[in-house]
Structure 1
């Protein structure tokens, strides 16, 4: 082996060791996460990639924040379209069963992110409506008493807050219970809320700060686009999880 290659190999080994050590110190290393794209159609009925783009890129961003990729379940209405990603089909029972298995092995925390269309009765999951009470029951059975972060990106998603709100949970929704959210059309890369979520993780310190930044970002985007009435994302933070959130700090984004 040429002598000049040894320092390069040593450097690669040190970087891998440091990366492994940093990951081992992540506060999310024993968390389980579930990220769901609940639909694939835009408001006009045509196809949109917005929900699956958000599902894919939010899952990747969770890995950057310190979640283990093997502990992130991803669901899509059209999993066969994204064959290399090894997705499961978006189905309420399948989501419950997957979360039940995942959370049995991850005792420290739980995150659920759903991006889809919404109605005043709940969120679209393929051909079904997922009502707030059913999602609350799923979280009760799977996440249990663990610190839990639930993010619902959908029109009228504020309807989830009363049922999901619990002492150990933080709930962030894309809209008030009586308002639509925006950006799920055929030409959108992401829904506005999901795009703001992705943009805000790099500067937020934790989930509480992230919620505030997402709300500010969404308001500014809606003003810029001239859409109204404003969606007004909702935030609920339970008294048990509130003092814990600073302990689940996000890593600083490395400079390019």
Structure 2
């Protein structure tokens, strides 16, 4: 009986000692606002396609698996060929409102078409660098913020979004297109590489590296003459913080 009590005591002590680590692993992104927005639903000729919404749907699943809480995650499709379409302003307002309640950090992921001047944001809307900076500043302030933009010419957003508390990953240089936004594609290639890389990445830094390598391989195999060259910016504060924000993984 005494030995049984001793073993129980040891197990209890170990549980107490390990519980802070377990709690930390479960709550790294607790209090983070996350938003995933499919901002277009058409190919280059204006015909409906599913690639952007496929990406939105599966990115939600993947970021939930990585530890982002559903209670503080919003996702929107801005397509208009549905019964109750979401307006671009409603998507911005939803992200901003959620950020007032979950204020420890921000993740904003947008997938769409892009031009050298803006990203398509809804049927006739345009997301410019100035507008995106204003949205991020109002919603996220000085908290740690990760912004991922999947669109042609999306590197145009890098300079405007730079700040010590931000990481910005884009699908292409400011003067390059990205690929995979046509009929018959399951995802835009960059989004597909994010989805492929996320389950094996430890954190956002390794996710960026894995994704860039994936995109380069896919474009080389397809014989792309001018590769998209995804761009990455990491502010000084985030260089220190990101390695501590490790993604959750199912227990093996």
| TM-score, structure 2 normalization | 0.86
CA distance in 1, matches of 2:121, 2:184: 21
Deviation at 1:129, TM superposition (A): 1.0
CA distance in 1, matches of 2:24, 2:181: 34
Match of 2:203 in 1: 206
Match of 1:234 in 2: 231
Q: Is contact 1:37–1:90 with CA below 8 Å preserved after alignment? A: no
Residue-pair matches, total:
231
Match of 2:4 in 1: none
Instruction: Say whether residues 1:106 and 2:106 are aligned partners.
Output: no
Q: Is contact 2:26–2:248 with CA below 8 Å preserved after alignment? A: no
- For structure 1, the residue ranges without an aligned partner over 5 or more in a row are 1-17
Match of 2:26 in 1: 25
Match of 1:145 in 2: 142
Match of 1:228, SS state, is coil
Deviation at 1:88, TM superposition (A): 6.7
Q: Is contact 2:173–2:228 with CA below 8 Å preserved after alignment? A: yes
Query: Larger Rg: 1 or 2?
Result: 2
Which aligned pairs between 1:41-120 and structure 2 lie closer than 5 A?
41-78=42-79, 81=82, 89-91=86-88, 93-120=89-116
Deviation at 1:211, TM superposition (A): 0.4
Q: Is contact 2:39–2:79 with CA below 8 Å preserved after alignment? A: no
Deviation at 1:236, TM superposition (A): 0.2
CA distance in 2, matches of 1:114, 1:59: 12
CA distance in 2, matches of 1:99, 1:158: 22
Q: Deviations over 1:168-199 (max 9, x none)?
A: 00000000000000001110000000000000
Match of 1:7 in 2: none
CA distance in 1, matches of 2:200, 2:36: 22
- Cα RMSD for the two superposed structures: 2.0
CA distance in 1, matches of 2:129, 2:244: 28
Q: Is contact 1:23–1:66 with CA below 8 Å preserved after alignment? A: no
Q: Is contact 2:25–2:248 with CA below 8 Å preserved after alignment? A: no
CA distance in 2, matches of 1:106, 1:156: 31
Q: Is contact 1:132–1:159 with CA below 8 Å preserved after alignment? A: yes
Match of 2:232, SS state, is strand
| TM-score, structure 1 normalization | 0.85
CA distance in 1, matches of 2:170, 2:176: 11
- In structure 2, the CA distance between the partners of 1:33 and 1:90, relative to structure 1 (3 Å rule), is farther
Match of 1:185 in 2: 182
Instruction: Say whether residues 1:156 and 2:153 are aligned partners.
Output: yes
